[in-house]
A and B are shown apart, each in its own frame.
Chain A
Amino acid sequence: NAGVTQTPKFQVLKTGQSMTLQCAQDMNHEYMSWYRQDPGMGLRLIHYSVGAGITDQGEVPNGYNVSRSTTEDFPLRLLSAAPSQTSVYFCASSYSSRQPQHFGDGTRLSIL
């Protein structure tokens, strides 16, 4: 099993551009989440999903959209990138609630 796969690993955008960060898992996990990690801020929850067709907002959802059309995939969309969205983004999945989350290796995003 590959676990949680995030693509791309690195990306540089200009302010106002849009892009989608991809996340895929092959463990048949129902629960998936997106976090951003900034220096001194730890990991902050952006959006999460408890199954296909179901998503909800986390701590810092503004500027980001998600959808969950399949169990395996949970893409994160930036509609109009801003410098404040420069961060490392992590996707995670778990089998159910109150179970260990498995993280990908992150996407390092810079917005100029």
Chain B
Amino acid sequence: GENVEQHPSTLSVQEGDSAVIKCTYSDSASNYFPWYKQELGKGPQLIIDIRSNVGEKKDQRIAVTLNKTAKHFSLHITETQPEDSAVYFCAAEANQAGTALIFGKGTTLSVSS
């Protein structure tokens, strides 16, 4: 089955700096890679996703890159703000039908002002 590794587990940056979180996956057949943000006491919320037919996707200060050959994908947050502080999870498909997700163990991002 799919296995997703996520690094680092914690990340501290100064406001305005960039933050990068990296994930690797094991199943080369995976085609969908979402990123979720979880705030304290809440369920995860999708912030961006990428499919295997593209290498990069941007949404304002957030971008995701995908390298299918190396089986890794990364989340990039530029111009970080204190409200970006949260736990971030990457995920990949749990099976070839893409009917469920396998998550990384999460990265706790702290942005200090």
A interface residues, Cβ below 8 angstroms from B = 4, 31, 33, 35, 40-45, 48, 50, 56, 58-59, 90, 92, 97-98, 100-106
Scoring A35, A50, A100 by chain B CB atoms within 10 A of each residue's CB, the highest score goes to A100
Residues in A with CB closer than 8 Å to B104 are: 42
Residues in B with CB closer than 8 Å to A48 are: 94, 99-100
A30 CB to closest chain B CB (Å) equals 9
A-B contact pairs, 19 of them (CB 8 A): A33-B101, A40-B105, A41-B105, A42-B6, A42-B89, A44-B103, A45-B94, A45-B101, A48-B94, A56-B99, A58-B94, A59-B1, A59-B94, A97-B97, A97-B99, A98-B32, A100-B49, A103-B36, A103-B43
CB of B100 within 8 A of CB of A33, answer yes
Residues in A with CB closer than 8 Å to B6 are: 42
Residues in B with CB closer than 8 Å to A44 are: 103
Other contacts beyond A50-B99, A103-B44: 17, CB < 8 A: A4-B43, A33-B100, A42-B89, A42-B106, A43-B44, A44-B103, A45-B100, A45-B103, A59-B1, A59-B102, A90-B43, A90-B44, A97-B99, A103-B36, A104-B43, A105-B41, A105-B43
- A45-B99 in contact given A101-B34, A105-B42 (Cβ < 8 Å): no
Residues in B with CB closer than 8 Å to A50 are: 97, 99
The answer for the CA separation of A75 and B43 in the assembled complex, in Å, is 17
The answer for the CA separation of A101 and B36 in the assembled complex, in Å, is 10
A26 CB to closest chain B CB (Å) equals 16
Contact with B34, one of A33, A97, A100, A104 (Cβ below 8 angstroms) = A100
CB of B99 within 8 A of CB of A31, answer yes
The answer for the CA separation of A87 and B113 in the assembled complex, in Å, is 33
Closest to B1 in A: A59
The answer for the CA separation of A67 and B34 in the assembled complex, in Å, is 27
Closest to B105 in A: A42
